[in-house]
Amino acid sequence: MLSLIRKDLILSKRFLLIFGLLYLGYMGYLGSRVGHPREIIVITTLMCGLLPLIQYTREDKFKAGVLNCSLPVTRREIVLSRYILSWVLTLVLYVLVMGVIALLPGRKFATSAMFSLNTVLFALAFMTLYLGLLLPLILRFGLAGMFAFLIVLQVFGVATLLLDRYKVAHLRLSSLAVVVKKGLLDLHASLGTPVYDSLLVVLMVLLTLASFWFAMFLYKRKDF
């Protein structure tokens, strides 16, 4: 397992270093331009999660996946190492970017807003969704999986907007979002913050586990 992570780090060290530094500079600058912490957290999480994922698509580009499967490891270990490394890289980069944003002058919100428990949980939830949905597709289908995900997301977004605009089936999606938000707030109020937050963390862990098992299911069926 550690050998696999070490291998990926050795083979991608140049890529990670160059793009990691670029991300730090770019996201640091962006952090000083955006007015709301939640927006910058969404963008930062998206960008930070992208780095390990692009690293894996490089492997697909060079058809180097066959190397992993000819090494003395199981496919389960390969998938697990990819999940661990993705999370570690995303979190490390996220913390670094947040540090740069906090240090750079010109920021339009307080530092405390970036590091509050709510913000951290929001960032983690977003990472869970993002990595949980994309990793199985990228591990199984490589770059094509990533593109397919982005296209489906675009189509879904356009369809959602159209549905909302033309009130298809008497459905106002903005009203639905309000209902969901109200439901969550009610749940929060009735459970209390500690239980609600713990539940959220458990949900994130379960989602990641489900994603991992799905990725294994797909990867074990991959022919090289």
Partner 1 sequence: MNNALELSRVGKKYKGFALSDVSLDLPAGTIMGLVGPNGAGKTTVIKLILNLIRRDGGEIRVFGLDNIRREAEVKARIGFVHETPHFIEDVRLKDLKAAIAPFYDKWNEALFRSLAGEFGLPLDKKFKALSHGMKMKFQIALALSHEADLLIMDEPTSGLDPVFRRELLERLSGILQDERKAILFSTHITTDLERTADIITFIHQGRVVFSLPKDDIRDRWGLVKGPNGLLTAETRRLFKGLRQTSLGFEALTDDIPAVRRALDSGVAVDRASIEDIMVFTDGRDAHA
**Would you tell me which residues interact with partner 1 (CB under 8 A)?**
3, 6-7, 10-14, 58-59, 62-67, 69-75, 77, 220-221, 223-224
Min separation Cβ 50 and partner 1, Å: 18
At closest approach, how far in Å is the CB of 76 from partner 1?
9
Q: Are 3 and 76 in contact (CB under 8 A)?
A: no
Q: C-beta of 84: minimal distance to partner 1 in Å?
A: 17
Q: Which of residues 75 and 188 has its CB atom nearest to partner 1 in the complex?
A: 75
Phi then psi for residue 70, to 5 deg, are -95, -5
Question: Closest Cα to residue 203, out of 116, 129, 153, 130?
Answer: 129
User: What are the angstrom distances between the C-alpha of 149 and each of 82, 98, 114?
Assistant: 18, 27, 29
The beta strands (E) that lie in the chain are given as none
The residue (of 132 and 136) whose beta carbon lies closer to partner 1 is 136
Could you give phi then psi for residue 92, rounded to 5 degrees? -60, -45
Q: Which is nearer to partner 1, 15 or 156 (CB)?
A: 15
Reading the block at residue 14, the tokens are 């140049």
CA distance 142 to 61: 8
* Residue number with CB closer to partner 1 (72 or 105): 72
Least distance to partner 1, CB of residue 60, Å: 10
Query: What are the C-alpha distances in Å from 153 to residues 8, 77, 130, 139, 175?
Result: 28, 29, 12, 18, 21
Q: Which is nearer to partner 1, 51 or 101 (CB)?
A: 51
Q: Which is nearer to partner 1, 2 or 117 (CB)?
A: 2
Tell the smallest beta-carbon distance from residue 18 to partner 1 (Å).
11
User: What is the C-alpha separation between 59 and 96, in angstroms, rounded?
Assistant: 26
Write down the least CB distance from residue 77 to partner 1, Å. Answer: 8
Question: Which of 88, 25, 77 minimizes the C-alpha distance to 51?
Answer: 88
